[in-house]
Structure formats: C-alpha cells, structure tokens
C-alpha cells in the first residue's frame, strides 16, 4: 500500500486505497510501503481521524531508518550452487524487502567506499579552495619569528634534538629559506652557463630570494678530466656542457640590520647547485673512495675517505679560477675579518652534487681559522660522500649537518654500499660485530655512510603529487621544499595551512602532479606561469 501523508483528508482514505490497489505489483522494492507490517510499521488503514501528524512523521522516519540500515551478515555459508528455481520464485526467496537489500548488497559499496572517499575529499570545496589559495599567491611565506637567543639551537648546536619530529615551525621556515638560496644558484647558472675569464673578476649578479643578503663572491668548480676538442667542434652551441670549470654557487652575507636582529647574528651563506654539465656527471661516476688530505689530527682522521669525483671537483684548480676550496676559505676569512667582533654564523647549503660539496666545504672551514664561528650544513637530496672515518672526522670537528632526505629519492642511496648506518649499524653493534664493521671500512672500496642528522620526508605524503612520481620529481629541489613546507611529523598528514605556492611545482613537475589538480588548476585560476616572475630563460641541462 502507498503511504498517506499527514495532509490527506481522513474522509478520502478509503477512496485512495481503492485507487492504489491496482498499482501494488508495480511498486519499487525500495518503497517503504512494500515492507511487511510489523509492530514498528503502519498502514493507511491504521490512521484514525484526528491522528497526531508528528507521531505519524516519527513512524515514517523510523520506517525509513529500518529500510536503510545495513543488513546483518548472513549466519550460514552461501551455497556454492544456488537453487535457480528458488531464485525465480519470489515467495521462496523471501520478501521484496530482502530482495531489495540483496540487490544493494550485490553492489559491494563497502569495497568501493575507500576509493570514493579519497576522491570525494580531494574534490571537496575545502580542498579546492585551498588549491586556489596556493595557486594565487607567490610571495607568501611562513612567518619569520624572532629567533633571538635560540638561533644556535636552530643552527644545530644540539643536533636539532626535539625540533624535527614534529617539525618546529621556525626550523621549517629556515630550511625552506636556505633551499631557496640554492634555487637562486640554479637559476643564475642556467641563465648564463658559459664562463669567460672576464666574468671571474666580478661576482655574478644573482637574484637572491632574500633581499637582506648580498652576494660577495662567485664560486667555481673544476673537473680534473676533460673531453676531446672535437666534441666542441661538433656542437659549439653546447660548449658549456664540456667546459672544465663552471659557476657552481656563491657566497652571500646578511647586510640588513633588522634581519640580523631577528636572527640573532650576522649569517654568511654558501649556496651550491647540483650537477649540470657533462663533466660534473662524469665526476659523479668516479665512485671509488680515496684518502682525505691529512692534517695534524691523528690515526682516526687518516682513515677518512671520500668519493674521488667529489674531491676532484672541490680541489682542482681551473685555468682562470682557483679551486672551490681555495675560493671559499679565502672569502670566509675575509668576511670574518671584516665583521670582527660581531656574532657570526656560517651556513653551507646545497642540493644533490652541491650537498656533497657542502660537506667538504664544512669540513674545510671548521679548521681554516682560529675562533671559527658556528658552521652548519643544510643538504637536500645529497648522496653519500665518504666512509665512517669521514663521519667521525666531521663529528670531531663539530660540524653540524642536517640532511633533508626524500624516502623516494634514489640519489640519497648512492654511491656504493654501506654497513655503518642506521638500524643495521645498531644490529651489528648489539651483535658485538664492531670489528667486522671496522674491517669493512678498511678494506671495502665502496663502504659509504651518511653524515649528520636526518629529516625524512616522503613524496607520498603530498596530496598533490602522484604516489608513483618518477625519479626526477623525487629528486627535484622544488618538490623537496614543497614536502618540507607541508611536513608536520612522521605520523601526521600534510598540513592544511601550508604556505608555499604550487605555481613552481606545477611548472617544473606538471606530469607528476595528480591530474585532478592539474585539471582543476586550469579551471580555478587564469594565472599564467610566465607572468609570475618564476620563468627563467634556461638552456637544457642534464639535471
């Protein structure tokens, strides 16, 4: 029977019943009127003149709730060969209500819910509003709080204990800021990769992201190997790819009184880009460990070894430029003398190859002068550089290293093999296998280990990047900064109040951004990337 609403006059009930009788066989299984009468259901015949409409509405809602509630799981196992005749007979197959519930149950919505739920959350107005906000801004950053007397803690005096998981908001801002110094090095090199003898005399014009700093020195790395001259004759337009010496970074110093007061000291930054020329790639492949230059420390330091190619780029002099090691030491000594009496700090930051060179710079600077200021290294996507002896040497010199590592980045797991690292090292120590570790370090040519404290992020934590993003995306510097900006803790999702704009990420890694967001980006905003000021005229680069 069909239900009668509270607005139907009581004297028309019988007439309505007579007219609706012919439609009984055409009602839907989902119609509440098809449910067998029970103590909790009602029929039009049970309606009395003057019945309370509120009570009827309550019964109606209860009936709907009974219909929509999840059916209990079957108590008996299903027959693997069902009776087809029973399925054909509606009387043998139970009530229409059960048939309706069986139809809905056949859809197995519970299995689809996990997939639908994720898409629904991504498509929710809240997420789209956040996407539009991140696409519409290019200059907003997390607030720069006054570091005051805590600046040494953020610079690694306690190896960033208690600041990484969960990530301190002030440290997050500092890490992203130092990453942007590396981006400026990439942009400056790609805009003018060729090098001339005249250029060496003056610092290169670098568009720094922080205007409170000024560039004081250009840095060059030189390969100890070279390619035949005929290579340049075949492709003279790409001669910069085969040049032995290339601009690799810069030295900058904070020159703003307000920023110096905020940071609690005057900061000297050394920023180094990653691999960009053929000869730099060739040096990366020279993975054998070689002895570090000896000093007056002792036997343990004489066991320190680093990758041959990295040390070559760091120590080799060019035809018109000094080595990277000589340039850095000379400029840092000059700045220390210039700002003598002030509180200073030295921050070395690099990405990929630049992260490896940053460790060598930090090792060199710590002992190059008396009363050396605090030296900290912030590395992004850095490979392994040396053996356990090199790690001990850095610890003895009190060089603080914060390694930002993407779990999906394969570059952070090369070169060589390693045994003295992380959980494996603990297991070997607990098994009293320290002698075995020492034997491996002394005799294995590729026994590498990492240096410093680790801040680990993961591409899969970003709601915008594909979980199966390719190797280039997982190693990309902008992807690193995007992940750090959204990182809360190892067991927390991507933070909703992330400040970093998605414009550059879409520009650099559009193929690795989820299609949902790339399509919505075109609909939500008319922003054109070439108008954001982020586009740089760059030549092709192997990186």
Domain 141-293+303-523 has CATH 3.40.50.1820: yes
Task: Check residues 32 and 200 and name the one with the higher pLDDT.
Answer: 200
Least confident window among 60-64, 112-116, 424-428: 112-116
Between 308 and 76, residue with greater pLDDT: 308
Q: How confident is the model at residue 269 (pLDDT cuts 50, 70, 90)?
A: very high
Evaluate whether 363 touches 304 at the Cβ level (below 8 Å). Answer: no
Helix (H, G, I), strand (E, B) or coil at 42: coil
- Strand spans (E) along 371-452: 374-380, 400-406
Please write the tens of the pLDDT for every residue from 298-323. 445 568 999 999 999 999 999 889 99
Per-residue pLDDT tens digits for 131-155: 666 666 554 555 678 888 899 999 9
- What is the mean predicted confidence (pLDDT) over 342-368? 96
Q: Which of 72-86, 320-334, 341-355 has the lowest mean pLDDT?
A: 72-86
Structure-token pair, residue 417? 């093999």
Q: What is residue 316's predicted lDDT score, i.e. its pLDDT?
A: 95
Cβ(379)–Cβ(401) below 8 Å: yes
pLDDT at 144: 72
Q: Is the pLDDT of residue 125 over 70?
A: no
**Does 5 have pLDDT greater than 90?**
no
pLDDT in tens, 179-206: 999 999 999 999 988 887 777 777 888 9
Which contiguous run of DSSP H or E holds residue 510?
Answer: none
Q: State pTM to two decimals.
A: 0.71
Residue 154 in tokens? 């953020």
Contacts of 166 (CB under 8 A, 6+ apart): 488, 489, 492
Q: Structure tokens of 543? A: 């990186």
Averaged pLDDT for residues 265-287: 94
Confidence check: pLDDT of 104 > 60:
no
Q: Per residue in 87-117, is it b (16+ CB within 10 Å) or e — as a string?
A: eeeeeeeeebbeebbeeeeeeeeeeeeeeee
Please state, for a pLDDT cut of 90, what percent of the chain lies above it. Answer: 44
Q: Which two tokens stand for residue 63?
A: 């009936």
The answer to whether 361 and 270 have CB atoms below 8 angstroms apart is yes
Residue 271: pLDDT band by 50, 70, 90 thresholds? very high
* Dist CA 330 CA 342 (whole Å): 19
Catalytic site positions: 352, 409, 475
For residue 31, the SS3 value is coil
Domain boundaries of the chain, sorted by first residue: 141-293+303-523
Yes or no: say if 178 and 351 are a contact pair by the CB < 8 Å rule: no
At 371, the pLDDT band (50, 70, 90 cuts) reads confident
């Amino acid at each position: 029977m069909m239900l009668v609403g509270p607005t139907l006059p009581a004297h028309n009930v019988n007439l309505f019943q007579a007219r609706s009788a012919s439609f009984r066989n055409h009602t839907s299984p989902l119609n509440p009127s098809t449910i067998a009468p029970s103590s909790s259901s009602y029929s039009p015949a049970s309606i009395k003149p003057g019945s309370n409409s509120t009570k009827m509405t309550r019964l109606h809602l209860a009936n709907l709730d009974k219909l929509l509630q999840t059916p209990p799981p079957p108590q008996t196992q299903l027959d693997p060969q069902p009776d087809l005749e029973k399925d054909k007979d509606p009387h043998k197959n139970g009530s229409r209500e059960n048939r309706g519930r069986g139809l809905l149950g056949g859809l197995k919505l519970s299995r689809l819910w996990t997939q639908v739920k994720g898409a629904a959350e991504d498509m929710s107005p809240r997420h789209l509003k956040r996407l539009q906000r991140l696409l519409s801004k290019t200059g907003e950053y997390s607030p720069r709080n006054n570091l005051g007397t805590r600046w040494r803690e953020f610079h690694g005096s306690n190896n960033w204990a208690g600041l990484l998981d969960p990530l301190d908001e002030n440290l997050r801002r500092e890490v992203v800021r130092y990453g942007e110094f590396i981006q400026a090095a990439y942009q400056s090199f790609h805009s003018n990769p060729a090098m001339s003898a005249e250029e060496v005399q003056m610092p290169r014009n670098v568009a720094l992201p922080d205007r409170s700093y000024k560039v004081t020195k250009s840095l060059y790395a030189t390969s100890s190997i070279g390619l035949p001259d005929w290579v340049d004759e075949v492709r003279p337009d790409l001669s910069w790819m085969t040049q032995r010496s290339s601009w690799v970074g810069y030295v900058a110093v904070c020159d703003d009184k307000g920023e110096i007061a905020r940071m609690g000291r005057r900061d000297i930054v050394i920023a180094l880009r990653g691999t960009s020329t053929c000869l730099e790639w060739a040096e990366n492949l020279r993975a054998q460990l070689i002895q570090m230059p000896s000093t007056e420390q002792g036997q343990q330091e004489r066991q320190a070894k680093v990758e041959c190619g990295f040390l070559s780029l760091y120590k080799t002099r060019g035809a018109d430029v000094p080595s990277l090691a000589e340039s850095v030491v000379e400029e840092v000594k000059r700045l220390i003398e210039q700002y003598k009496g002030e509180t200073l700090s030295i921050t070395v930051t690099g990405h990929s190859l630049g992260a490896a060179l940053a460790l060598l710079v930090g090792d060199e600077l710590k002992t190059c002068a008396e009363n050396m200021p605090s030296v900290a290294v912030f590395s992004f996507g850095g490979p392994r550089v040396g053996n356990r002896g090199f790690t001990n040497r850095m610890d003895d010199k009190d060089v603080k290293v914060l390694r930002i590592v993407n779990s999906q980045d394969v570059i952070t797991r090369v070169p060589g093999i390693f045994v003295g690292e992380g959980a494996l090292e603990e297991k070997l120590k607990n098994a009293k296998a320290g002698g075995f570790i020492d034997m491996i370090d002394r005799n294995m040519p590729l026994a590498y280990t990492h240096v410093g404290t680790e801040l680990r992020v993961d591409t899969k934590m970003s709601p915008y990047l594909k979980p199966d993003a390719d190797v280039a995306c997982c190693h990309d510097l902008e992807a690193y900064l995007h992940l750090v900006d959204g990182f809360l803790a190892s067991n927390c999702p991507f933070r909703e109040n992330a400040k970093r704009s998605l414009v550059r990420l879409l520009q650099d890694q559009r193929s690795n951004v989820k299609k949902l967001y790339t399509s919505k980006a075109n609909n939500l905003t008319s922003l054109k990337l070439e108008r954001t000021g982020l586009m740089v005229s760059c030549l092709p680069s192997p990186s």
